[in-house]
Amino acid sequence: MSAQILDGRACAKQIKAELTEAVATLAESGVVPGLGTVLVGEDPGSKWYVAGKHRDCAEVGIHSIRHDLPESVSQDELLAVIDELNNDDACTGYIVQLPLPDHIDTDTILEAIDPAKDADGLHPTNLGRLVLNVNSEITTPLPCTPRGVIELMNRNGIELNGKHVVVIGRGVTVGRSIGALLTRREHNATVTLTHTGTRNLDELLAQADVIVAAAGAARIVKPESVKPGAIVLDVGVSRETDPETGKSKIVGDVDPGVAEVASWVSPNPGGVGPMTRALLLKNVVDTAQRSAAN
C-alpha cells in the first residue's frame, strides 16, 4: 500500500484563507501587516521565490515592500536598507533572501535585522528565546520551515507526543532549530539530529517514527532504511541533470520507493515548501496581532 500524501499546497491554502480573515479583522482596527523582502543579485531561484512571497501577500491582503539590489551592492549599502526597514512602520516583518554574494558577511546582515521584524524566525535572539522556552507561549517569530513541518503533520491529524523524530541535516534553517520546537512540551517528541557525516545513519533511520530529511543530499533516505509505517517529510532540495532531456530538475532527499514503506510522505516539491511560504505570512500576521493587542 502506498503512503498517504502530506499535501503542503492544500494545507497552505487553508492557512492563507485563515490569514485572509485575520488580516481583514486587523484592517477594521486600522492595522495593515507589511512584509518586506531584500533580494541581492539575479539568482533565478531566489527571484522566483521572492516573487512568490509577494504574490502570497497580495492573495491574503498583506502590504508588501520590495528591495531588489544589484549583485555589486556594498555591505554598507545593504546595511542601510536593513536600517530603513527596521525603522519603517509600514513593515511588520521582512526577510533577506539567501544566499548573499561572497563579498557580504551574511551573519552581520542577519544580526542587523530587528528581532521583532524577523519574519524568518532565524535571528539569533529569536532562536535563543526558542531554545530557552520549553513550556510557555512563545511571543517571538518562529522558524518558518520547522513550523511548517509541524503544522503539516498537525493538520493531517498526526500526533507527535512520544514519537521519535530523526532529522537529517544540521543547517540553521531546519536541522538546528526544529529540535527546539519538537521537544517543547506542547509537541513532546524525542529528537535525534543526524547529518551526512553520521556513520550509523541507516540504523537511526530504521528506529524513527518520523523522518525529517533536510540535508540537500539526493535520495539519502532509502526504502530499506525506513521503518514500515513511518512518517517521512522530504525537505531537502538539490538539482540533477535529467539524462534524457539534459535539463536540470529538482530532486528531494527521499527516494520515491519510500512511499511503498511509509504511512505518510510529503512530496517534493509540493510538501513543506508551500508551508514555509504560508508560515512566513503567519509570522508577519502574528506579529501585527501582538502589536495591535499591546
How distant is the alpha carbon of residue 14 from its chain centre?
A: 17
| Residue 170 annotated in ligand binding | yes
- The annotation status of 61 as a binding-site residue, yes or no, is no
CATH number of 143-273: 3.20.20.140, 3.40.50.11270, 3.30.1490.190, 3.40.50.720? 3.40.50.720
What does the pLDDT look like over 143-154, one tens digit per residue? 999 999 999 999
pLDDT at residue 1, rounded to an integer: 66
Domains 31-114 and 143-273 agree in fold: yes
pLDDT tens digits, one per residue of 175-216:
999 999 999 999 999 999 999 999 999 999 999 999 999 999
Beta-carbon contacts of 148 under 8 Å, excluding residues fewer than 6 positions away, are 8, 272, 275, 276, 278, 279
pLDDT below 50 — which residues of the chain? none
Q: Is 237 annotated as a binding residue?
A: yes
Residue boundaries of the structural domains of the chain = 31-114, 143-273
Known catalytic residues are 53, 97, 120
Cis check for the bond before 101: say yes or no (omega within 30 of 0).
no
| Separation in Å, CA 135 to CA 116, 122, 138, 180, 275 | 21, 20, 9, 11, 24
Does the structural domain 31-114 have CATH classification 3.40.50.10860? yes
User: What global pTM score does this model have?
Assistant: 0.94
> Which cell goes with 241?
541533470
The answer to whether 252 is annotated as binding is no
